[in-house]
Amino acid sequence: MSGMSQTMTSGKNEAMTIARHALPRSGGAAGTERASAGVPDALRAEWTKLRTVPGTGWILAAVCVLTVAVGAATAAATRCGTGTGCPIDPTKVSLTGIQVGQAVVAVLAVLVISGEYSTGMIHTTFTAMPRRWMVLAAKAAVLTGLLLAAAMVAVAGSLAAGRLILTGNGVTAAHGFAVVSLSNGQTVRAAAGSVLYLALVGLLSLGIATIVRDSAAATGAVLGMLYVPPVVALFLGGEPAWQRWVDRYAPTDAGMDIVTTTGMHNLVISPWVGLGVLAAWAAGALLAAGMLLRLRDA
Amino acid sequence: MTTTITPYRPPEEAGRDGFTQLLHAEWTKFRTLRGWVIAVLVAALLIDVVGLLVPRGDDHCGTACQAHVPTGPGGEAVNDSYYLAAQPLAGDGSITVRVTSLTGVIDSTSGFSTPASLQNPVSRRLVPWAKAGIIITGSTRPGSAYAAMMATGSHGVRMQYDYTSDIAGLPGSVTAASPRWLRLTRSGDVITGYDSADGRRWAEVGTARLTGLTGTVRAGMFATSPLEFVPNLPSYAESGGGANSSAATGAFDDVDLLGGPPGGRWAGQQVGSDNGPQPPPGIGFRQAGGRFTVTGSGDIGPVVAAGVNSGYVTGTIADHLLGVFIGMLIMIVIAAMFITVEYRRGLIATSLAASPRRGRLLAAKAVVIGLLTFVLGSAAVAVAALAGSRISHDSGMYMLPVGWLTEARVILGTGAMLAVASVLALSLGTVLRRSVAAVAAVIVAIVLPYILGVSGVLPASASEWVLRVTPAAGFAIEQSVPQYQQVVGRYAPPDYFPLGPWSGIAVLCAYAAVALGLAAYLLRRRDAG
């Protein structure tokens, strides 16, 4: 196997060593059987695993770069004469890159769990930490932290680039557009919501990947989940009831409403409720994953 | 004394390391993994289920709409609706006119309203392809062979014939200060068009041989004006764009018909009718001395998909190929795993030991996965396209007629696209050697651009760019009807792609070829494992 996975394995061994050293501390009472690691140890172990896998930094960088680049390219391709003939939503245009960035987020989330299954590391992990749900919770927590940090950079960069480019293209307040500005409450909501959106996509992907286990199948399943419903909804034009159903209950369709700042009356579901739908999907996937972890053999 | 002992050599089995054996081995590897077999069958099934579920018909319209769509000499669906002031022309001859003005109105009262048009529903504007000029037509039955010279709203003088052909003449618009002289001559079934800016120096614009243009034909002045296309705007996302009716008025003088009946009179008549909104008032023909005005509404040209230039609810077989990208998603995953699981399980060492010529191993895998996805994909697409067209037709949609060759190209071409995408996935799997990276890379390279390109997330220019330069250009093979620059329409997926069918799939093939070459190179250069 490649050097990358050898490093990954050794990184995980390091994590294991840490976990093992941690045992006496948490299960400190002499003579008791409570030898399982505590929450801080689980977090530390997962953080070490993720930190020492060489891919993580690159993937997080890719989230930021792709999100900002696609957003900037979309902004550059957006040209409008006057406000009425071309009602664009500058904040939404600037944040278009999230549509691509979320694919990379999903990949990172899949790697967090299926990497362990494909190398057999999962046996070691569960031996060290028999409370399997805690492993999943720790993975989710570490992943969320990393994703929130990366998403903040990505969203801030996208909005800055979008503002700069769109202003250059004549999308200004003088022409009747809602400019990308942090003094605009809707933009702030879209920005904060987008950061949460990316983190929730990560958690949903983590849940699905834990359920599916195989890395390739998990990647396909997660990306299918993200991208198939929007397109299917688009072509269900003849059946508005179905289309509304998808818009309202599909994770990405509902969740992406958070980036909308103009034409709010066209939304079938309000931005925060939409993000709530995505959160419910993520929670459901993680719950199902946690239950399956308990029920299945590793 | 020494004896030479010949070491025992097992008799060589002929063709033991032949390519056929390699193919057989790879096929066995594939077929014995039940999960993979189920997955590719599910992929094929999804292509059909999604493709047949997409409901595109309009029950309000019913089969009544379909009965009246005329077809042109080439078999394509056409609009043939205009106002004509003509005389019979029994043999060879010519018609010459001077066009002194072209004006128009656009009426959005029964069409598509925007905030601006609500304040001013009728505006005195010309649509870009408003037409007024002279025409020689076999008959006034819609769909007849014809050739015409015309002034247009914003595309200068054109010669058009038999609905799909369009040749540019003098540029610029017609005004009283810069009129245009137009001439058509008939010699048997050959029509030649000329234009002139001063009535003295004439330039030939084009020549058309029209099949079926025999005997007495009609020659005269015409005017028509297609629907104004209002593109889909983000704030009207639910409406999908719309169209307003329009009319064009051409003013003619210096009319000269050679070969017509002696003392013939110009007789006005409406030819055909489209199924669009009520045309603006004033359609007709007036004559005052040597001056004529003709006002018409409609279009003479091919019908394009998505119901834009006509009132017909039209569709193409591509509408039922929506499931293809979902099936592709699954096939990509399997194709990437076809090589990455060998790396993960260490089987690659055994495979390479059995077939030391590594390029051939990759070739065998590519052939197996390519053929499999081609056969399964084509079969699934054939069901989706043919049964889907049937369902759409029965639900009142007019399916644009295409030849069986085109249908075969769409079906087999889409199967080939799935095969090439699978080979691309296999190649990237060989290059990256890790399932997640390979699957994600191929999905981001093909499926994601397709989704971004067709979903309307990106601005139109960005969508077009994405569907030109990324491997998603291969989806262009799904197009069954051509685009016409002389017909304004919503040329958007799934019916239309920015690249033609063959150039689109060539882009995908180029990516796959580069990836396969890189994979073969790296497979030879790197240690396995």
Cα separation, A17 vs B314, whole angstroms: 67
What pLDDT does A10 receive? 44
How far apart are the C-alpha atoms of B45 and B180, rounded to whole Å? 59
- pLDDT above 90: residue B133: yes
Instruction: Please say whether the dihedral angle defined by the alpha carbons of residues A232, A237, A238 and A244, taken in this order, is positive or negative.
Output: positive
Number of cross-chain residue pairs from A and B with Cβ atoms under 8 Å apart: 137
How far apart are alpha carbons B80 and B314 in whole angstroms?
Answer: 16
How many residues does this entry show for chain A?
A: 298
Q: Provide the token pair at B22.
A: 């390699």
pLDDT of B327 above 90: yes
Residue A79: closest C-alpha in chain B? B459
| pLDDT, averaged across chain A | 78
Residues in A closer than 8 angstroms to B437, CB to CB, are 107
Residue B406 has pLDDT above 60, yes or no: yes
Domains of chain B listed by start with CATH number = 78-309 (2.60.120), 321-383+403-483+498-525 (no CATH)
**Strand, coil or helix: B22:** helix
What is the mean predicted confidence (pLDDT) over B401-414?
92
Give, to the nearest 10 degrees, the angle between helix B404-432 and helix B324-345. 30
Q: Are A94 and A180 in contact (CB under 8 A)?
A: yes
Which residues of chain A have a CB within 8 Å of the CB of B234? 87-89, 263
pLDDT above 80 (res A130) = no
Place of tokens 């070829």: B513
Q: What is the pLDDT of residues B8-23, one digit of tens each?
A: 766 655 555 688 888 8
Q: What's the pLDDT score for residue A36?
A: 54
Could you tell me the sign of the dihedral formed by the alpha carbons of A29, A34, A36, A41, in that order?
negative
**B 317-336 residues with CB < 8 A to A:** 319, 322, 325-326, 329-330, 332-333, 336
Q: Which of A87-101, B122-136, B166-180 is least confident?
A: A87-101
Cα(B206)–Cα(B187) distance, rounded to whole angstroms?
14
- pLDDT (0 to 100) of residue A257: 82
Least CB–CB distance from B115: residue in A84, A106, A115 = A84
The DSSP H or E segment spanning A55 is: helix A55-77
Contacts of B33 (CB under 8 A, 6+ apart): none
pLDDT band at residue B238 using 50, 70 and 90 as cut-offs = very low
Per-residue pLDDT at A200 exceeds 70: yes
Q: Decide if pLDDT at B182 tops 70.
A: yes
CB B423 within 8 A of CB A203: no
Q: Provide the pLDDT for residue A176.
A: 63
pLDDT band at B242 (very low <50, low <70, confident <90, very high): low
Whether B60 has its CB under 8 Å from any CB of chain A: the answer is no
Residue B99, pLDDT > 80, answer: yes
Name the pLDDT band for A3 (thresholds 50, 70, 90). Answer: very low
A220 to chain B, any CB pair closer than 8 A? The answer is yes
Of A159-163, B103-107, B274-278, B351-355, the range with the lowest mean pLDDT is B274-278
What's the mean pLDDT in A53-70? 85
Residue B309's nearest CA partner among B402, B397, B406, B230 is B230
Query: Could you give phi then psi for residue B334, rounded to 5 degrees?
Result: -65, -45
Lowest mean pLDDT among A36-50, A273-287, B94-108: A36-50
Q: Give the Å distances, CA to CA, from B236 to A87, A265, B316, B456, B470.
A: 9, 11, 24, 13, 29
Angle at B508 between CA B526 and CA B382, to 5 degrees: 120
B475 closest CA partner among B440, B456, B448, B457: B448
Per-residue pLDDT at A31: 43
| Residue among A73, A93, A216 minimizing CB distance to B439 | A216
In the predicted structure, residue B106 carries a pLDDT above the cut 90:
no
User: For residue A11, what pLDDT is reported?
Assistant: 44
- Find chain A residues with C-beta within 8 A of B333's C-beta: 216-217, 219-220
Give the pLDDT score at B362. Answer: 92
DSSP state of B10: P
Domain that holds residue A11: 3-295
Among B residues 461-500, those touching chain A with beta carbons less than 8 Å apart: 461-462, 465, 494
Pair B303, B312: CB distance under 8 Å: yes
pLDDT > 70 fraction of chain A, expressed in percent and rounded: 78
* Summary mean pLDDT of chain B: 85
Q: What is the pLDDT of residue B524?
A: 87
- Give this complex's ipTM: 0.71
Across residues B298-313, what is the average pLDDT? 73
For A71, which DSSP code?
H
**What percentage of chain B has pLDDT greater than the value 70?**
87
User: B190 pLDDT band (50/70/90 cuts)?
Assistant: very high
| Cβ neighbours, 10 Å, residue B497 | 28
Least confident stretch, B91-100, B421-430, B433-442: B433-442
Question: CA geometry: angle at B396 spanning B141 and B309, to 5°?
Answer: 55
Lowest-confidence segment of B208-222, B233-247, B481-495, B507-521 by average pLDDT:
B233-247
pLDDT in tens, A235-260: 665 566 777 777 788 888 888 888 88
pLDDT for residue A20: 46
The C-alpha atoms of residue B471 and residue B493 are separated, in whole angstroms, by 15
Q: What is the pLDDT of residue B249?
A: 93
Domain count, chain A: 1
Best CA proximity match to B343, nearest among A208, A12, A4, A110: A4
Nearest CA to A177 out of B160, B227, B235 is that of B235
Query: What pLDDT was estimated at residue A4?
Result: 42
CA angle A96, A101, A104 (to 5 degrees): 160
How confident is residue B110, by pLDDT bands cut at 50, 70 and 90?
low
Where helices occur in B162-225 by DSSP H, the ranges are none
Contacts of A236 in chain B (CB under 8 A): 54-55
Chain B, 334 to 353: residues with Cβ < 8 Å from chain A are 336-337, 340-341, 343-344
Q: Is the pLDDT of residue B83 over 90?
A: yes
Token reading at B491: 């040329």
Is the distance from CB of B313 to CB of B307 less than 8 angstroms? Answer: yes
pLDDT at B427: 95
Identity at B181, one-letter amino acid code: W
The CA angle B45-B50-B51, to the nearest 5 degrees, is 95
pLDDT at B2: 60
- Classify residue B61 as exposed, middle or buried by CB count within 10 Å of its CB (0-12, 13-18, 19+): middle
For the cut 60, the answer to whether the pLDDT of residue A97 exceeds it is yes
**Model confidence band, residue B472 (pLDDT cutoffs 50, 70, 90):** very high
The stretch B186-204 carries a mean pLDDT of 93
Exposure string over B366-399, b if 16+ CB within 10 A, otherwise e: bbbbbebbbebbbebbbbbbeebbebbeebbbbb
**Contacts for A4-11: CB closer than 8 Å, 24+ residues apart:** A4/A54, A4/A55, A4/B434, A5/A119, A5/B434, A7/A52, A7/A53, A7/A54, A8/A52, A8/A53, A8/A54, A8/A55, A8/A115, A8/A119, A9/A119, A9/A121, A10/A52, A11/A48, A11/A49, A11/A51, A11/A52, A11/A53
Give the Å distances, CA to CA, from B382 to A172, B240, B375, B401.
Answer: 50, 28, 11, 16
